[in-house]
Structure 1
Amino acid sequence: MKDLAIPHWVRDWGYTLMGILFCGFALKSFLIPNSFFDGGVTGISLLIHELYHFNIGWIIVLANIPFIIMGAFQVNRRFAYKTLAAVILLGLCLQFLPYPDRITTDKLLVSIFGGVFMGIGVGLAIRGGCALDGIEVLALYTGKRISFTISEIILGINIIIFLIAAFDLGLPTALYSIITYYAASKTISFVIEGLEEYTGVTIISGENQLIKERLVKELGRGITVYKGERGFLKESFDVSQPVDIVFTVITRLEVRRLRNLVHDIDPKAFVFTSTIKEAAGGVLKKRARH
């Protein structure tokens, strides 16, 4: 039977629309009724709304437009058009959808769950190929012109936002909003990377033949072998021997099992891991998604 694969554009817009709904829920049911903030352009929009009482839907759309234009040059026009459509839809959701009003007034619950739902929304939108907050584009643009990293630029912008909030609306509100931002950031990472964040593992061992065999036959992993040399010790620098350097990609849930397997074969094997943000193709084992 022919596999009925979902077209990429349908899946991407599905992610984007779900992200918009989650962001609208976080804003209308948690953050706005309790005068809380987030980071980035959304945080700036919430701050303007709280100080001047402008319509939040219009503010979010207008505040993102300069960054969307910037995104057309920094990323591509397709990304910019899709982001513009997503931001406009978010503004319409905030204006017309009947979200539950003020689910809770508990500040800790608002800061945590407001951030979590906002993070789910932004993360889903990113998986759909667009952005609901233009701060990333600004950081990308600025990072090419100054010596700071993108993360440092985003952190600096958000510090300014929270300082303004502290002076105008009080320190407690700013501190709770920092919790919101932290919860949103961690949730975004989880939504994008998921439980199956991939880990690259490099193994250097004299017992590489047996290790390769067990990785493939027992763990069902694909492997790549680099030809290298080992030795070069301080007391015998001129002595070395050829060795196969084994590289494989696993999920982080399998790291301990792989380490145990290698240790059973060669307790002196040199094993190191590195986080892989994106992995596709090859022999990658994935859990079934329901």
Structure 2
Amino acid sequence: MDEIEHIIKHYRNLTKLSITVIYALCVAIAVNIFWTPGHIYGSGIMGLAQLLSSVSHRWLGQTFSIPLIYAILNIPLLIISWRKIGHNFTFFTILAVAFSTLLMKSLPPVKVQFDPIICAIFGGVFNGFGTGLALKNEMSTGGLDIIGIILRKRTGKSVGSINIAFNTLVIIGAGFLFGWVFALYTLLGIFVNGRVIDALYTRNQKLQVIIVTSHPNKVIQQIQDEMRRGITIVNDVEGAYGRRPKTMLFTVISQYELQDLRNAIHQSDPYAFVSITKAEMIMGRFYQEHIY
């Protein structure tokens, strides 16, 4: 048993190592080929690094490279992560930051000048794909991820307001440095980046599930075997067509668990009626697995 667990852990570590390389390559492509030539800024720490690099070039007479600033901004956050979050989590975060810094430094800037809208969209797609893939595989990309996890542990609240503040600063900086048209392009790039991340990283998206079944015990047992979810039971429900007694089950899952739910329903009662809708807000106890 210990040998199997060791093999599984080794496989997961190799997978995470591969994902860090893919993430780093995506970030380098987004920054060097699309965002920097198009005067478009990314979101979070990356956008702040781009902003500071532009400020140093314009007003200090000396250009500090984006990879250097990006690495420096992440160093104190990685130290905090090592002390407050966990060593294994921080180790792969360090690799993600290090690989992305090296690839941004080594990947030559593109000579072709794309339209700024193309730069904003494709930069957002590449960066969002890399970030979403990393988050989906239970990894962090550094920067605001670390701040968000620490705040969530201490306060139970999300880091949404910090993300908004950072990105607002980046957008305003783009407006002052390159004009407000480029601020709009930056906003477009940040929006695309966020949408791609949401498409890949679905763990935080909640779904409300209503199941009408004639075999409630089988369905409940199968769902609880597949997932760690509570279920509310409504008895004495009657189907209008056949006037047959039914049971209605109510639960909330994450988008990440949708396939597990489908498998559970198919195995326990493939004829059950299931309604799934997005849950805008959840109040009360809801189990959320952490990525560290």
TM-score (norm 1): 0.69
Compute the displacement of 1:222 (Å). Answer: 3.8
- Aligned AA for 2:178? L
Correspondence 1:1-290 to 2 at 5 A: 7-52=11-56, 53-98=63-108, 101-142=110-151, 149-193=158-202, 201-203=209-211, 205=212, 208-209=213-214, 222-224=222-224, 228-230=233-235, 245=249, 250-251=258-259, 262=272, 271=275, 273=277
- CA change 1:145–1:131 in 2 (3 A) is closer
Task: Give identity over the alignment, percent.
Answer: 21
Corresponding residue pairs, total: 250
Aligned partners of 1:87 and 1:132 also within 8 Å: yes
Q: Which protein has the bigger helix share?
A: 2
Compute the displacement of 1:124 (Å). Answer: 2.5
Aligned partners of 1:123 and 1:187 also within 8 Å: yes
Q: Distance in 2 between matches of 1:277 and 1:103?
A: 49
Secondary structure of 1:193's aligned partner = coil
- CA change 1:172–1:147 in 2 (3 A) is farther
Compute the displacement of 1:85 (Å). Answer: 2.5
Q: Distance in 2 between matches of 1:11 and 1:146?
A: 32
Q: Distance in 2 between matches of 1:126 and 1:111?
A: 22
- Aligned AA for 1:89? F
Compute the displacement of 1:244 (Å). Answer: 6.3
The CA RMSD over aligned residues, in Å, is: 4.2
- Per-residue Cα deviation, 1:36-64 (whole angstroms, up to 9, x for no partner): 10110000001111221211221111111
Structure 1 unaligned blocks of 5 or more:
232-240, 264-269, 280-290
Matched with 1:283 is none
- CA change 1:80–1:210 in 2 (3 A) is closer
Q: Distance in 1 between matches of 2:232 and 2:189?
A: 48
- CA change 1:250–1:148 in 2 (3 A) is closer
Q: Distance in 1 between matches of 2:206 and 2:158?
A: 24
- CA change 1:127–1:14 in 2 (3 A) is farther
- Aligned AA for 1:55? S
Secondary structure of 1:131's aligned partner = coil
Compute the displacement of 1:177 (Å). Answer: 0.6
- Per-residue Cα deviation, 1:123-164 (whole angstroms, up to 9, x for no partner): 233345433341122234456677964212211221122223
Q: Distance in 2 between matches of 1:274 and 1:119?
A: 22
Q: Distance in 2 between matches of 1:222 and 1:134?
A: 39
Q: Distance in 2 between matches of 1:227 and 1:178?
A: 42
Aligned partners of 2:53 and 2:69 also within 8 Å: yes
